[in-house]
């Protein structure tokens, strides 16, 4: 038996009873000699059986009837290979796989995608809707359906599905957040309705989305999203620290100071009678915004000391080993001041 370039050549010697085919990179076959007690099958029938098995292998890669997954894999191969008929050639195979396994939601999603690609929108919509009905808590099914609705400009079901995904898992956050940015109104002035529907009170998703926007450096959308969170009291101190730091590095010190004063300041008198936050080192420095930044410096070790304090329970301790004539940069803080006269007081 020999296999080369989809050419099947059978050589049946005397006493050959049957051949078994194994689909693999190296085509193989096994033949058995019948025992004296075996029922001898006429050579013509044995040859016909071998031909049928070989034809099945050439078509499906197996000598047994293909499983629904095998059929689906063949359909995906049709999509991936650059055939002249494009996705049309895969639709029949996806339909066949679905007919053999109608309770599996992936079969419906698999069929929906080439249907959508060939303009059969209503049929595709039915497939995705049925897939979600079969598995309402599957993020994989939901993201495929959401992508279809987004491509059709149907934002209502898309938002509902994106909400479900954010509730179920964080694995698809980047994909969902990218979709939300696409759904926000083009003027970026008021994304509140979209964000309230998709994220709402989901703290993890809300903070993740804002951090995602920080990475995009999209100031109009960042500002609008911050306003949405602030109005609904969704702001947390870590987000306020992050936002103030971003504003400060983008030369908007006054807004950064305002955010810090309202949502991140540790000293109650900050911005009123005192202009240095965490002035007594009572809290671990955040290293961002308008809090202390403790930087490693040669010859100096900077730590918080809970044994000595001017007021409160802590202070900053600097240990100099004498190896470097340091210019005192290990501890700094960004300060925003309105025009005026100020007195700086320090206890050492």
d(CA 333, CA 276): 8
* The pLDDT value given to residue 43: 65
Between CA 91 and CA 87 the distance in angstroms is 7
228-253 b/e with 16+ CB inside 10 Å = b?
bbeeeebbeeebbbbbbbbbbeeebb
- Contact present, 130 and 108 (Cβ < 8 Å): yes
Q: How far apart are CA 73 and CA 106, in angstroms?
A: 12
* Helix boundaries (H) for 101-138: 105-117, 121-134
Query: What would the pLDDT profile of 134-153 be if each residue is shown by its tens digit?
Result: 999 999 999 999 999 999 98
Q: Do you know the residue count of the chain? A: 348
Residue 39 pLDDT: 47
Per the listing, tokens 């497939």 go with 127
Residue 243 and residue 118: Cα distance in Å, rounded? 45
Q: Is 81 strand, coil or helix?
A: coil
CA dist 224 and 285 (Å) reads: 29
Q: How far is it, in rounded angstroms, from Cα 261 to Cα 283?
A: 16
Q: So what's the pLDDT on residue 19?
A: 41
From residue 257, alpha-carbon distances to 183, 228, 242 in Å are 31, 19, 12
Spatial separation of the C-alpha atoms in residues 101 and 346, rounded to whole Å: 76
Closest CA to 330 of 298, 282, 283: 298
Percent of the chain with pLDDT over 90: 53
Q: Give the separation between CA 241 and CA 246, rounded to whole angstroms.
A: 9
What is the spatial distance between Cα 348 and Cα 344, in angstroms, rounded to a whole number? 13
What span, in angstroms and rounded, lies between the C-alpha atoms of 261 and 275?
A: 10
SS (H, E, C) 181-204: HHHCCCCCCCCHHHHHHHCCCCHH
Pairing of strands 2-4, 331-333: unpaired
Its pTM stands at: 0.71
Least confident interval from 5-14, 77-86, 159-168, 281-290: 5-14
pLDDT of residue 188: 67
Query: For residue range 297-342, what is the model confidence (pLDDT) as tens digits?
Result: 888 888 999 999 998 899 999 888 888 877 767 789 999 998 999 9
15-22: Cβ within 8 A, 24+ apart: 16/43, 16/46, 17/41, 17/46, 18/46, 18/49, 18/50, 19/50, 19/53, 20/63, 21/53, 21/54, 21/57, 21/63
């Amino acid at each position: 038996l020999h296999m080369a370039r989809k050419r099947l050549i059978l050589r049946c010697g005397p006493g050959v009873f049957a051949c078994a085919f194994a689909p693999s990179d190296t085509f193989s076959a096994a033949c058995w000699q019948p025992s004296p007690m075996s029922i001898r099958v006429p050579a013509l029938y044995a040859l016909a059986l071998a031909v049928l098995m070989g034809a099945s292998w050439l078509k499906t890669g197996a000598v047994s009837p293909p499983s629904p997954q095998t059929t689906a894999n063949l359909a995906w191969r049709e999509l991936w290979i650059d055939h002249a008929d494009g996705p049309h050639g895969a639709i029949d195979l996806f339909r066949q796989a679905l007919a053999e396994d109608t309770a599996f939601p992936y079969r419906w999603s698999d069929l929906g995608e080439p249907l959508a690609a060939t303009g059969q929108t209503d049929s595709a919509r039915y497939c995705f809707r049925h897939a979600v009905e079969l598995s309402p808590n599957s993020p994989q099914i939901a993201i495929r359906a959401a992508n279809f609705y987004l491509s059709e400009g149907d934002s209502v079901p898309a938002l509902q599905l994106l909400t479900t995904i954010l509730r179920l898992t964080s694995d698809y956050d980047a994909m969902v957040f990218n979709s939300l940015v696409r759904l926000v109104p083009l003027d970026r002035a008021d994304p509140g309705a979209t964000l309230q529907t998709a994220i709402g009170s989901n703290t993890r998703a809300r903070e993740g989305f804002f951090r995602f926007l920080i990475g995009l450096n999209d100031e109009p959308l960042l500002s609008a999203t911050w306003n949405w969170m602030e109005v609904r009291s969704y702001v947390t101190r870590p987000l306020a620290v992050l936002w103030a730091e971003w504003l400060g590095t983008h030369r908007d010190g006054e807004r950064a100071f305002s955010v810090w004063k309202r949502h991140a300041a540790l000293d109650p008198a900050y911005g009123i009678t005192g202009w240095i936050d965490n002035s007594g080192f009572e809290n671990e420095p955040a290293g961002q915004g308008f809090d202390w930044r403790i930087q490693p410096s040669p010859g100096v070790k900077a730590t918080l000391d809970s044994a000595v304090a001017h007021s409160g329970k802590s202070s900053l301790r600097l240990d100099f080993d004498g190896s470097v004539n340091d210019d005192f940069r290990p501890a700094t803080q960004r300060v925003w001041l309105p025009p005026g006269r100020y007195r700086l007081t320090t206890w050492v």
